[in-house]
Amino acid sequence: MGSPETATSLPVILLHRPPELDSSPIIPRLKDFYRVIDPHEESDSDPSAQTLFRSVRLLLCLARPPVTSDVLDRYPSLELVIATSAGIDHIDLAECRRRGIKVTGNAGVFSDDVADYAVGLLIDVLRRVSEADRFLRAGLWPVKGEFPLGSRVGGKRVGIVGLGSIGMRVSKRLEAFGCVVAYKSRKINPNVSYPYYADILELASWSDILILSCSSTKETYHIVDKGVMKALGKKGIIINIGRGALIDEEELVRMLSSGEIGGAGLDVFENEPEVPKQLFEMENVVLSPHRAVLTPESFAELQKVIMHNLEAFFSNKPLMGELDIE
């Protein structure tokens, strides 16, 4: 990208972050090539800062702070929002579309890692890996004898809710295990031969396992409710690597407790970082603190995408991962 310029001549980018995220490894790198403006560090009474806010053209969104119409009102010259998280439900895409603001995502850098994690959770629940680990560490093998059997992965019918970049990678991995895949998405994917279910109740009735990898929207809020869980059945398993709000969490806890559903592997929750305490006591549940997307490798790839899109924007070149919000 060439040598750094003087601070006053550098292209300006606006940093949009939650207050608690006060550092990121990418920020020092950004400051070599851009003037980074952070509203959390600027005085609201400074006229020069307000002028700069009104003229800034690019917003870099670190983590998941909301990008609402009120936020966009403060920066009327915005032309591009660069999102860096796995999901984009924190961004008002309709408002961006109305204002003619482009939005870029992560260009799929997290997809392989999330797909690996989904399969890992599934294997863990079926084969009872974490449960067996606890059993052994507690010294129960000599006392109680043989540990209960887990269930085979191969041959299971897996319903995937959301056959996007992540869902497709999950399906390919599970095919290699000998699983049978069907799916529900916003629309039929003409490039796959998996059975498509428009009704999630029908998909759940068919499935042994339901994997959630769709976006969190008004339409998908509590898409897995009591009815879906009952359709999945007493041996059914839910894996959620999407968003916590996809599941009626209170109902999930109740049905797991009563044995109306077989088990769950959960990386996300409705009120993070709070997790229902009842889940901690359940041996048929594997829990993870929202870490499916994060590996050093995916973070390094994300930084490359960010730097590419910054340079591309200021040199009027094609962007990576631009979202179709028309």
Nearest alpha-carbon partner for 11 in 308, 315, 305: 315
* Residues 278-309: tens digit of each pLDDT: 999 999 999 999 999 989 999 999 999 999 99
Q: Which domains does the chain have, with CATH numbers?
A: 7-109+295-314 (3.40.50.720), 111-287 (3.40.50.720)
Predicted TM-score (pTM) of the model is: 0.90
* Residues 91-115: tens digit of each pLDDT: 999 999 999 999 999 999 999 999 9
CA 102 – CA 75 distance, rounded (Å): 14
Q: Which residues are catalytic?
A: 243, 272, 290
Least confident interval from 39-53, 266-280, 294-308: 39-53
CA 83 – CA 110 distance, rounded (Å): 13
* Residues 116-168: tens digit of each pLDDT: 999 999 999 999 999 999 999 999 999 999 999 999 999 999 999 999 999 99
**Parallel, antiparallel, or unpaired: how do β-strands 263-266 and 157-161 relate?**
unpaired
pLDDT band at residue 266 using 50, 70 and 90 as cut-offs = very high
